[in-house]
Structure 1
Amino acid sequence: MAPAGERLPEEGLALCLTERKTRGEVWLRRQLVASVGPSMAGWLDYFLHPDGQAVKVLMLHVHPDFQRRGLAGVLMDALYEAHPTAWINHGWRTGQGSQWWNGYQEPAPQRNVHNRPPSEWAEYFSAVDVASHKARNAHQNEHYGLDGHRENVYRYGERLETEAALHEAAFRPAQPVRMVLDAQPLHGAARLVLPPAVHAYVHDRTQDSHARATALLEHIGHGNLPRGAYWNTTRQAAFVDAHQEDLFNPHPPGPPHTHVVFTLTPRQSPLLPSVAHAWATSVTFEHPGDLAVDVNELAWRQADRPYLTHQASFAPAVAAAIAPYSSQQASAAYRARYDPTGFLRTPRPFAHRAAQIQAMAERLLQGRAARAQTSRRPSAPPHTSAPHSFWPQQHPPGRGHSV
């Protein structure tokens, strides 16, 4: 644990607002994540009302290595800033939480439901629940000898019966908001650990972006689009999903990994029978078999360099598929097009596609290095990547990939 009063580093501290997908919840699950360099430093979990005008705080957690350095206040301030007009319900606090709250300076106490009469916010929160939470917090403050910003709290300790009689009838349960799938482009992310030469090639901005995207899709396999991905309405939301997965479930130490986002249009219409759960901005699929899709765009970036994003469009779109749970659950059309590992069965112009991709990547990188060493010579014409047709369309059985 850091010494009390030690400041957080000004460089490397990042805040990320993410969507936590949880089934059965009408309110939208959100999370503010703080990271320092590659390490997760803390997070704030909360629910957001579908109309965006009310917030329920669930948990505020700071990693022991970053406690007593002001990070909890940074996260709570960010919550208020992210939802500048919403009512904030902090609920009840633990003993440790009460001691922290006693020293926290709330940026907008007038939006804290504990500080305002229920008539103003009772349509969002149960007046009885809020009153009981206030009573519990009052008990914690008395137990620890804390003030707890008592002067801001409205009707401190009012009887629950009074709250129920006056305001409980005003409560209005939230109505779910679901995405409409009709022709909605979807964006899903995967995390990859690429072979060194392929990694260097697809992240080389001097090479043609379309050729690099083609190589990346060939390496993954057209029939291997991630089954467990959340498919979002925006590309940025998909990248955030991958970043959050890095923070909570990091890869073991090793080569740098790549976040890839597929932008696709489902070919089945409607897809609603396959939807496991639909939120306002994302869906998942529960169909155990494959799902045919058209990949319209590919975007990718190195996980530790999110400011350098590569992107390429496919025109026409590339036929692909979300992978089935197992080869036994694949459709006849999928088995005819893809082998058991998800790679195309079409005739291949090269016997060893993996070797071709590896060799081409190494050759391109070596050529660039050689040109740099002979910079005194007249400039060579710009390098032109191999056309799309160069990339073989068949993957030899047994080639590994990481998604």
Structure 2
Amino acid sequence: MMMDALYAAYPTAWINHGMRSADGTRWWDRYDEPAPQRNVHNRPPAEWAHYFDPLVVAAQKARNAYRNRYDGVHGHRDVVYRYGEPMEAEAREHAHAFHEPVDALGPDPQADDLYGGIRVVLPPGLHRIVHDSSRGAAERAGLLLDHLGHGSLPPGAAWNVTEHGALEDLAHEEVFGTAARQPATHLTFRIRPLPGRQLPPHDVKATWVRFVDSPGIEVELAGMSWRSPRRAWLTHTAVFDPPVDAAIAPKYPADASPQYRARYSEIGDLLPGQTARRTGNPSPFAGREAEILALADRVRQGVGRRAADRPGTALGQQAPADHPVHPQHQHPQQHTPRIR
């Protein structure tokens, strides 16, 4: 019912069923797929590669093929095209059936807000504080960031165009993860656009971008959100205004850029002497101290010269008027026209 509902709810979308477990393999063998032509495992990569990573899909298909053989089931092999063949051969084989290749415009890191996330198991005391709704969200987000390190934003994350997409990635990781189950907090970061930055190589898809072998990328962290492990419908959100300086961690510590090493340790903590910084609009007076002092000095000199031109006038006092003002000029009479 869930799979039928998925196909019905998204009648034109590509669908990737991913990698199946042992129970999933036996279930899949009995399942009658409503629209197998929209299953990416059944179509050439040129049709759907703007939405999914072909190498990941190929690995999923290979794993599913192994499970089919291991469990002795058919698994709709006649629909899933050519297990194990090179993609180029598959493309040539199915060239006659190609649809118009998808022309999806993915996110631009230099123009779009991006959302990435990690699953983190927090110490018990910090876990209680972070999920305590009676405390301010900004305070709890600050504690989280200090615990993780300002330079520890996830280097391998797929940075999505929506927060929901980032949280979906984390949920998918948890479902298919093989590590021992512990109550992990799903945490997302919102980074602002990176205009004018020299970005490392990155892989762009329709709704996400992934930085390849990141050397440590300085970003403006504009907000954080996290979900309760026990109550996934409860999301805590903190907005940083102005944003906080942070960094996407290097993929490999040895490849960290000099700028990253100058500010962060290998585990992403701020180095001694480095402090968290806000990236709001700078003060209009910052860096202009000498200019302001020179202007004030010119003003004082001008006042002094004008006072010297009027003998007997102390600096800062108004010189007496040359002619007395007649009282009638101070309070002119108001004449009301007579009604005739």
Instruction: After TM superposition, list the pairs within 5 Å mapping 1:116-155 onto structure 2.
Output: 129=94
Structure 1 runs not aligned, ≥5 long:
1-7, 9-13, 18-31, 33-43, 81-85, 102-125, 130-163, 350-387, 389-403
Instruction: After TM superposition, list the pairs within 5 Å mapping 1:321-340 onto structure 2.
Output: 321-340=247-266
TM-score w.r.t. length of structure 2: 0.56
The equivalent residue for 1:319 is 245
C-alpha distance in 2, partners of 1:176/1:234? 20
Q: Letter of the aligned partner of 1:64 in structure 2?
A: D
Deviation of 1:286 (Å) = 1.7
CA RMSD across the alignment: 4.4
Q: Deviations over 1:275-306 (max 9, x none)?
A: 43100100111244110001101000133421
Q: Deviations over 1:156-182 (max 9, x none)?
A: xxxxxxxx9xxx4x8544044231414
Alignment of 1:258 with 2:185, yes or no, is yes
Query: What is the aligned residue count?
Result: 235
Deviation of 1:331 (Å) = 2.5
TM-score w.r.t. length of structure 1: 0.48
The equivalent residue for 1:294 is 220
Counting strand residues as a fraction of each chain, which structure ranks higher?
Answer: 1
C-alpha distance in 2, partners of 1:60/1:303? 24
- Sort the Cα spacing of 1:66 and 1:269 in 2 relative to 1 into closer, same or farther, 3 A: same
Q: Deviations over 1:289-348 (max 9, x none)?
A: 110001101000133421011110001101000111344322232222222321112549
Bigger radius of gyration among the two: 2
Structure 2 runs not aligned, ≥5 long:
44-64, 79-90, 279-340
The equivalent residue for 1:208 is 136
- Sort the Cα spacing of 1:66 and 1:222 in 2 relative to 1 into closer, same or farther, 3 A: same
C-alpha distance in 1, partners of 2:39/2:260? 49
Q: Letter of the aligned partner of 1:220 in structure 2?
A: L
Asked if structure 2 preserves the Cα contact closer than 8 Å seen for 1:268 and 1:292, the reply is: no
Alignment of 1:239 with 2:198, yes or no, is no
Q: Deviations over 1:191-222 (max 9, x none)?
A: 10110000110011111111001100111100
Alignment of 1:194 with 2:153, yes or no, is no
C-alpha distance in 2, partners of 1:231/1:305? 24
C-alpha distance in 2, partners of 1:269/1:310? 32
Matched position secondary structure for 1:241: helix
The equivalent residue for 1:96 is 74
C-alpha distance in 1, partners of 2:257/2:40? 49
Matched position secondary structure for 1:262: strand
Asked if structure 2 preserves the Cα contact closer than 8 Å seen for 1:301 and 1:310, the reply is: yes
Q: Letter of the aligned partner of 2:185 in structure 1?
A: T
The equivalent residue for 1:398 is none
Asked if structure 2 preserves the Cα contact closer than 8 Å seen for 1:266 and 1:292, the reply is: no
Q: Deviations over 1:66-118 (max 9, x none)?
A: 95699946xx46x79xxxxx96799599963469x9xxxxxxxxxxxxxxxxx
Asked if structure 1 preserves the Cα contact closer than 8 Å seen for 2:111 and 2:195, the reply is: no
The equivalent residue for 1:401 is none
